[in-house]
Structure 1
Amino acid sequence: MPLYKTITPNSQTTVKIWKITESFNDLTREIILKPASSERVLGMKSELHQRGFLSVRHLLKAFGYSDADLFYDENGKPHLKDGKNISITHSFNFSAVIVSDLIVGIDIEKQRDKISIIAHKFIDYEFDYLNETASDYIRKLTVIWCVKESLYKLFCTPGLSFKQHCLVIPFSIDDVETISWIDYEEKKYRYNIQFLEFEGFTCAYAIA
């Protein structure tokens, strides 16, 4: 399938989302992988992960980049050779890439009931305003996870904790945006977060 959605949050930033319907073989066409990338994808045990990896390379191509333009630093954060900022995510049959002149982070997650089982691992302050019996509880948990994951990718600092250092202020699912904070080593950083839902998935992206 071609590109699923393109979003332009501001003049310096673009988000592209891909719905992965193609087979592994179809996704290998029309892209060229670096030897290290070829080795990495062939070493993946799950075809779902392989297809996610390859769909990201198609998203790079949609931005005008190739696999050779992408590299990772010692913390595992992706970078582009032209100096623009990039963040990458994929979950099941969706992937997304955000490219910007600004520092960014993005995450996609499938909305699943089992997130409630691990909520205590990534939520503290947010429990004050969440209602476990509400019909949108799982959706809100998924938004909060995506927000914190996007902040983690943006901040890219070893030791940053979803639960202890990342806070998401009260929001409504209909808001499609919220404010979040990173409270880390006596400094506070404020971020505007945008999020969206589609086909049982949630995507959130942070822009510094």
Structure 2
Amino acid sequence: MPLYKSISVNSQTCVKIWKIEESYNDLMKPLDLKPNSLERVLGMKSELHQRGFLSVRHLLREFGYTDQDLYYDNYGKPHLRDGKHISITHSFTFSGVIISDHKVGIDIEMQRDKIAIIAKKFVDYEFNYLKSDSEDYINKLTVIWGIKESLYKLFATPGMLFKKHFLVIPFMIEDGQTVAWIDYDNKKYRYNTAFFEFEGFTCAYVVP
């Protein structure tokens, strides 16, 4: 079972990453899914999405949970029945879960050049320090997207816009961390965030 990476962020928070190498059948065999989870996975048209969904359930097992311990609210945000906070992500051949005593968010993104095409949709303030001709431009855009996606998952408030309400302060890729702000509804919220790169992917998460 390819648990790819496990990170103890602090005493209350842990991140686990899964590399999805198994077939759909191999991932499905050991799992006991709730009826609505089974219906959901069987209704997915892409096997890649099915395997991503199932790999998340394997990550839950790594934490000591089962599919029965997980539920989603009306906004699609995942929750655990014991009250701990959880965030989930999967991208192509990797999935990730972060669990904490505090609100958290996590995102995994493949590093792709086409992110530069949509940069204006989610970047505003950050253009002040980004250089489009730098070698790490794509990597930095991917970090910014991942951080903003993680914050969005944490806050789970409809109407929030990456470009308008989220701000990521300057960082270097080798730093592996930075500070981000949410400016929404006349209130400001400060968050510590972390990120790392692996096999052409970027993982970003909010540090409680």
Amino acid at match of 2:21: T
- Do the aligned residues in 2 keep the contact of 1:102 with 1:207 (CA within 8 Å)? no
Amino acid at match of 1:171: F
Structure 2: distance between partners of 1:87 and 1:207: 12
Q: 1:107: Cα distance to partner?
A: 0.2
**How many residues are matched?**
208
Q: 1:2: Cα distance to partner?
A: 2.1
Q: Which sections of structure 1, spanning at least 5 residues, go unmatched?
A: none
Structure 1 length-normalised TM: 0.99
Equivalent pairs: percent with the same residue? 72
* SS of equivalent residue, structure 1 residue 25: helix
Determine if the alignment matches structure 1 residue 148 to structure 2 residue 148: yes
- Do the aligned residues in 1 keep the contact of 2:148 with 2:162 (CA within 8 Å)? yes
Q: 1:207: Cα distance to partner?
A: 3.1
Runs of 4+ aligned structure 1 residues displaced above 4 Å come to none
Q: Which sections of structure 2, spanning at least 5 residues, go unmatched?
A: none
* SS of equivalent residue, structure 1 residue 103: coil
- Do the aligned residues in 2 keep the contact of 1:105 with 1:152 (CA within 8 Å)? yes
Q: Look up the match of 1:125.
A: 125
- Do the aligned residues in 1 keep the contact of 2:2 with 2:21 (CA within 8 Å)? no
Q: Look up the match of 2:95.
A: 95
Q: 1:29: Cα distance to partner?
A: 1.7
Determine if the alignment matches structure 1 residue 135 to structure 2 residue 135: yes
Q: Look up the match of 1:35.
A: 35
- Do the aligned residues in 1 keep the contact of 2:18 with 2:59 (CA within 8 Å)? yes
Structure 2: distance between partners of 1:56 and 1:123: 29
- Do the aligned residues in 2 keep the contact of 1:87 with 1:106 (CA within 8 Å)? yes
Aligned pairs for 1:70-81 within 5 A? 70-81=70-81
- Do the aligned residues in 2 keep the contact of 1:72 with 1:78 (CA within 8 Å)? yes
Structure 2 length-normalised TM: 0.99
* SS of equivalent residue, structure 1 residue 104: coil
CA RMSD of aligned residues (A): 0.6
Structure 1: distance between partners of 2:50 and 2:168: 32
